[in-house]
Amino acid sequence: MDESPPAAAIYLLQESGSSNFTDAETIYSGPLTSYTLYWSQPGDYYYRVQAIVNGNTSDWSNGVSVRVGDNVRWELDQRKDYSPSVLLAVQRSLLRMCAARGDLFCVLSLPEDYRDDKAIEHVTLLKATPNITPPTERVSPLGFGEGQRL
Amino acid sequence: MFRHWALARVNDFSFGAVFHPWLIEREDSRPNNLTRMPPCGAVSGLIADRALRRGAWLAPANQTLRGVVALEPALNPARRLDLQDAHINLVRQEPRGFLVLDADTLAEDDLRPINVRRLLILFAATGLSWARLTCSSPTVLPFGAWWIAAHGKCSMDCLSAGLCRRDSGFVVPGRDGWFFEYEASVDQGRFIVELRVAPSLPMTFLTIRLVQTGDLSVATEVR
């Protein structure tokens, strides 16, 4: 059950780069009970709250830590630089798992831009046996009857 | 999970199938937004729907895919046979919608049809469940056969074909043309059941195209 804060409460929100709040900085002071934070730099941040009601000041709350990771960036490769090695490894692994379990069936797709020749080439590679084609991403092609031996 | 149940000649490539090209879909709730999706999700739904409604032994094909408005990329119709030979199941645009007419695994020979592989999966899973239930004596095998038939959604005709017999082996016809038979024996304290499945002949959907040119109508068979 939500508990409404006292009408006259003022909250102080502090941010620090260390867990003992030696360099704490007050980043909000006011009646709101929520606050949205934005970070520009990765790192560990620590937060604590204090309430002031009718001139009475509470203790600081327990500190809460937030770890901000590096920004995830996606970069598109040129189509000519695309390699199906990862996709082949994933699909071979799926086939291997289904064959080993015996009660699963995998439905596979091809890259969107694959036309006739590339599609046929991909499936030919997928079906190639270990003596014909090398592993991709350290996943070897399926051998005949391999699932029974797993 | 089960192992070592299958045919003497197991081809692991029968546990997967490839579908192409991608689907451009329009959701009912967002008609102005088009979404590009690989076909594996829609086809998986189609396979599940076909299995639940009619049985896993029927080819998951010849059923329109809902919400699909286009395909990407466009494939050359003249290469369809090459793609089919490579075991690539094509999503096609036909007059009644977008659908898959082929349902092949990556395997050759008997295990090429998806429905054959899935029937074998069903039999193995069901057979093992039944074996756990009735492993005490061969005399309870008719119950086991009934159990398999019921879980295979076999018809009453199947049940009346001889399931009341209490010998150690017979053939049971299935509803959609597949058969199975079993033999049971006790050998050195081991209760051994051997199931043999004869799926119906793989069904290939043939397209008959009617073309009228002037006052001359012709019918051609295409793949």
Is the ipTM of this structure higher than 0.85?
A: no
Residue type, B149: A
Is A83 found in the same domain as A58?
A: no
Structure tokens at B57: 């032994």
Is A93 found in the same domain as A143?
A: yes
State the sign of the Cα–Cα–Cα–Cα dihedral B45, B48, B52, B57: positive
Q: How far apart are CA B20 and CA B36, in angstroms?
A: 13
Cβ atoms of A106 and B16 within 8 Å: the answer is yes
Q: How far apart are CA B84 and CA B92, in angstroms?
A: 12
CATH of the domain at A27: 2.60.40.10
- A2 in a structural domain: no
Is A88 found in the same domain as A62?
A: no
- A142 in a structural domain: yes
pLDDT tens sequence for chain B (223 residues): 444 343 333 578 999 999 999 999 998 888 888 999 999 999 999 999 988 888 787 888 888 998 999 999 988 989 999 999 999 999 999 999 999 989 999 998 778 889 888 887 877 666 555 555 444 444 444 444 544 444 443 333 333 333 323 333 334 444 455 565 666 666 666 656 566 666 665 555 544 454 555 555 443 434 3
- Kindly list the residues of chain B whose beta carbon comes within 8 Å of any beta carbon in chain A: 1-6, 9-13, 15-22, 36, 38-40, 43-44, 47, 72-73, 75-76, 79, 82-83, 86-88, 106, 114, 117-118, 121, 124-125
- A73 in a structural domain: no
Last residue of a domain, one of A26, A41, A68: A68
Is A52 found in the same domain as A114?
A: no
User: What global pTM score does this model have?
Assistant: 0.65
Q: How far apart are CA B131 and CA B110, in angstroms?
A: 26
- Of B1, B10, B119, B89, which Cα lies nearest the Cα of A108? B89
Q: Which domain holds residue A51?
A: 10-68
Q: What is the CA radius of gyration of chain B?
A: 21
Cβ atoms of B79 and B90 within 8 Å: the answer is no
